[in-house]
Amino acid sequence: MSNTQEILEVNNVFKVFGDAPDQAMDMLRNGATKEQVLSETGQNVGVFDASFTVKRGEIFVIMGLSGSGKSTLVRLLNRLIEPSSGSIKLKGQNITNLKDKDLLNVRRQDMSMVFQSFALMPHMSVIENAAFGLEISGIDKKTRHQRALTALEQVGLGSYAHSRPDQLSGGMQQRVGLARALANDPTILLMDEAFSALDPLIRYEMQGELIRLQKEQERTIVFISHDLDEAIRIGDRIAIMEGGRIVQIGTPQEIMNNPADDYVASFFKGVDATKTIKVKDIAQKDALTVSSTSSADVALTEASGQFAYLLDDGGRFVGVSPITQGKSSTVASLMSERLSAQYSLNASTSLKESISIVSESPYPVPVLDDKGVYQGTLSKDHILATLANN
């Protein structure tokens, strides 16, 4: 069952702050707005009817300005704040009605959190901090320090294991915070404005670090941010929140092309379109691909373009050969004529980052996923056409 795509399902979740949430919930069920509830009952609606799903292995960014309820929403997921109503399903299991003990297990095994303020324990060394979650789960000291050290090495802090947190810079402290969450090997990583307290350069570096880690480990991450550039850079999908309500969910490009309302549109007004478009979304599949292991002759008559892309059995890209229209050729000869210049693009590269590579390449650049599997090609002409459309 754990192979289902949707790992987290949030349905119609409300959170009402105040001393009489039931009354407010009744009003909300009868269609009252947040403002009506506030003026009539004095109860503040923090999250209003939030529904979304998070897929395995994606970075789901919840974005909004301060006061939009995004930090409340992420705390509802691990019930640091109790939802007033609605259901939250983790791997198909509803966690909103879990007993205390089961809830603790969810927090210990399935959800780890990274905080804006780092929230490291000053009385513990870096490695003890990284091992904190494991210590709470009752894992013996040797094992937990081993796993904590592995996590610290993943974030590049292996040599600081015995330092104190206050001896580290902000960026390094947040790496420890990230290592503490990774050491638990959680199903879902909750990151609450994890990079917002860092200065811009370090923040950019940490985003790159997260993208790199994500490529290696394929974690499922719910990332809270108020920074649109950050959301676009790391997010596979973005949920935009305003006033406790999720106004739109989609890939950066989808939201940009079809903003749900003026609020979202104004948000995206200043954004550089080439940053939101990923090359996998615009890669063309019409180029000729040839299996490098087949022995048959390849007829090049129907081929479009001047290049053949050679793939192995797993569909992984091996090389590219020039072809002549109307001639046929053997795979062996194609293999031997492979071009020495090797250009390729990762599928999650943004259009902006791809331009320089495509402009240098003598042939349309193959787009590959993280495992090197061929996804399509990207040519100079196609980039220009895409830019013209946006």
Partner 1 sequence: MIDVSFLDPFQNLTIPVGEWVESVLNYLVHNFRDFFRAARWPIDQILDLVESILSFIPPLIGILLSALFGWQVAGPRMGVFCAITLTMLGLIGVWEQSMVTLSLVITSLFFCVVIGVPLGILSARYDRVEKTIRPILDAMQTLPAFVYLVPVVMLFGIGNVPGVLVTIIFALPPLVRLTNLGIRQIPEDKIEAARAFGCTKQQMLVKVQLPLATPTIMAGVNQTLMLSLSMVVIASMISVEGLGQMVLRGIGRLDMGLATVGGLGLVLLAIFLDRLTQAMGEQSNSSGAVRWYQVGPIGLVLSWFDSSAKQNVATPQTKATQE
Residue/partner pairs of 29-34 with CB below 8 Å, 24 or more apart? 34/243, 34/244, 34/245
Strands (E), 150-270: 188-192, 220-225, 237-242, 245-250
Residue (101 or 269) nearer to partner 1, CB: 101
Count of CB atoms situated within 10 Å of the CB of 365 = 25
Among 78, 207, 321, 375, binds partner 1 (CB under 8 A): 78
Q: What span, in angstroms and rounded, lies between the C-alpha atoms of 108 and 137?
A: 6
Among 121, 299, 332, 341, binds partner 1 (CB under 8 A): 121
Say if strands 317-322 and 374-378 run parallel, antiparallel, or are unpaired: unpaired
Among 14, 132, 309, 374, binds partner 1 (CB under 8 A): 132
Q: What span, in angstroms and rounded, lies between the C-alpha atoms of 308 and 296?
A: 15
Among 99, 123, 142, 269, binds partner 1 (CB under 8 A): 123
- Per the CB < 8 A criterion, the answer to whether 290 and 310 are in contact is yes
- Per the CB < 8 A criterion, the answer to whether 93 and 101 are in contact is no
Q: Is 115 in the site for partner 1 (CB under 8 A)?
A: yes
Contact mark string toward partner 1, 367..386, x via CB under 8 A: --------------------
- Per the CB < 8 A criterion, the answer to whether 14 and 51 are in contact is no
Contact mark string toward partner 1, 38..67, x via CB under 8 A: ------------------------------
Q: Is 96 in the site for partner 1 (CB under 8 A)?
A: no
Residue (197 or 339) nearer to partner 1, CB: 197
Closest distance to partner 1 from the beta carbon of 373 (Å):
37
Among 80, 335, 347, 355, binds partner 1 (CB under 8 A): 80
Enter the tokens of residue 308: 């053949």
Q: How many residues sit close enough to partner 1 to count as binding (CB under 8 A)?
A: 31
Q: What span, in angstroms and rounded, lies between the C-alpha atoms of 191 and 334?
A: 48
Among 2, 31, 39, 122, binds partner 1 (CB under 8 A): 122
Q: Is 105 in the site for partner 1 (CB under 8 A)?
A: yes
Q: Is 112 in the site for partner 1 (CB under 8 A)?
A: yes
- Per the CB < 8 A criterion, the answer to whether 351 and 277 are in contact is yes
Q: Is 284 in the site for partner 1 (CB under 8 A)?
A: no
Specify the stretch interacting with partner 1 by CB under 8 A; choose among 113-121, 281-289, 335-343, 353-361: 113-121
CA distances from 384 to 249, 307, 355 (A): 28, 20, 10
Closest distance to partner 1 from the beta carbon of 383 (Å):
44
Q: What span, in angstroms and rounded, lies between the C-alpha atoms of 254 and 246?
A: 15
Enter the tokens of residue 126: 């870096």
Residue (113 or 311) nearer to partner 1, CB: 113
Say if strands 93-94 and 307-311 run parallel, antiparallel, or are unpaired: unpaired
Closest distance to partner 1 from the beta carbon of 226 (Å):
18
Contact mark string toward partner 1, 133..152, x via CB under 8 A: x-xxx---------------
Residue (147 or 237) nearer to partner 1, CB: 147
The amino acid occupying position 152 is: L
Closest distance to partner 1 from the beta carbon of 188 (Å):
12
SS3 22: helix
Q: What sections of 42-113 are H helices per DSSP? A: 70-77, 100-105
Closest distance to partner 1 from the beta carbon of 190 (Å):
8
Binding site for partner 1 (CB under 8 A): 78, 80, 104-108, 111-113, 115, 117, 119-125, 132-133, 135-137, 162-164, 167, 180, 184, 190
